Amino acid sequence: MAVGEGEQQPLHILFFPFIAHGHLIPVADMAALFAARGVRCTILTTPVNAAVIRSAVDRANDASRGTGSPEISITLFPFPDVGLPPGVESAPGISSKAEQEKIAEAFLRFREPFDRFLAEHHTDAVVVDSFFHWSSDAAADHGVPRLAFLGSSLFARACSDSMLRHNPVEASPDDPDAVVLVLNHPAVGVFVTHCGWNSVLEAVSAGVPMVAWPRFTDQFYNEKLIVEILKVGVGVGAREFASFIDHRSQVIAGEVIAEAIGRVMGEGEEGEAMRKKVKELSEKARSAVKEGGSSYDDAGRLLDELMARRSSGTS
């Protein structure tokens, strides 16, 4: 964006995502939203992880060309040499406990390129994944406000906090890209999902009810949200918690999955209620990001606050 003499430079926000698809993709989407509001956005990540979001960033830049909005840029730093196989630069790529420990060491070394970028570039704010616990102190050292990004639902975070506070296991020891296009196709009637938060948001935004089949991380909490609170889907009875490096999983019979799909797509009251509810939520979600919507206005207030902070010289 060309800036004339006397005009204020656009805000510059650095995005520093965690290295997993469920964290990278929403960060690219956020950068596109802010760039459309005139913010200069930079995403700092490693080469392999940049490839995950490159097409999304290119599409956003192509769409904004000629509008005066600044382009989103991706700045690369080399993945730290911690003894991982070549090309393994993300959490889903690890295959053993030893590699899990190595990638954890790499996360700590990410502070050096983060510090270097802030030292070399004027930045009005940083949006950093909350998994990088060191980023709060690092941003404070440079006098830059840090906004923490959590790649899971607020409901899942509340459940995690509750588990930590009340420890129910101890208290009761005897208790036992393409996706978006597909979901928005009119022929799609139900989405069988592992309940990653990106997938849940995409399904709700598209107005598609879900069959929930969680496996790990926040997915079991998201299943509760889908089935018991929002009532826009049914579960398949998954109970066994797996992990990225443990490929064993509870076997869910095909008949059980078929029955769950039938409940969602059937002509009975249960299926009709779920389909109606998710369509209502879809309309609310789409309205929220339109001009005048709650999310749109929240983003505007944030940008106004950052611009006021710059004007006042606050550090």
Q: What is the pLDDT of residues 32-76, one digit of tens each?
A: 999 999 999 999 999 999 999 999 999 999 999 988 899 999 999
Where helices occur in 37-153 by DSSP H, the ranges are 47-64, 97-109, 111-120, 135-141
In a domain, 232, yes or no: yes
- 8 A C-beta contact, residue 216 and residue 243: yes
- 8 A C-beta contact, residue 306 and residue 11: yes
In a domain, 1, yes or no: no
Q: How confident is the model at residue 153 (pLDDT cuts 50, 70, 90)?
A: confident
Regarding whether 120 and 33 lie in a shared domain, the answer is yes
pLDDT average, residue stretch 224-247:
85
In a domain, 3, yes or no: no
CA 50/CA 69 separation, integer angstroms:
22
Regarding whether 214 and 125 lie in a shared domain, the answer is no
Residues 260-277: pLDDT tens digits? 999 999 989 999 999 999
Locate 50 and state its tokens: 């940049």
Mean pLDDT of the chain: 88
Residue 3 predicted with pLDDT over 80:
no
Q: How many domains does the chain have?
A: 2
CA 156/CA 204 separation, integer angstroms:
16
- Residue 246 belongs to domain spanning: 178-287
In a domain, 161, yes or no: no
Regarding whether 188 and 139 lie in a shared domain, the answer is no
Regarding whether 118 and 22 lie in a shared domain, the answer is yes
In a domain, 266, yes or no: yes
Regarding whether 273 and 234 lie in a shared domain, the answer is yes
Give the Å distances, CA to CA, from 24 to 41, 183, 281. Answer: 14, 20, 25
Q: How confident is the model at residue 24 (pLDDT cuts 50, 70, 90)?
A: very high
Region class of 253: left (phi > 0), else alpha (psi between -120 and 50), else beta: beta
Q: How confident is the model at residue 173 (pLDDT cuts 50, 70, 90)?
A: very low
Q: By mean pLDDT, which of 78-87, 111-120, 237-246 is the weakest?
A: 237-246
pLDDT average, residue stretch 195-223:
93
In a domain, 298, yes or no: no
pLDDT average, residue stretch 300-304:
93
Regarding whether 190 and 138 lie in a shared domain, the answer is no
In a domain, 162, yes or no: no
CATH code assigned at 44? 3.40.50.2000
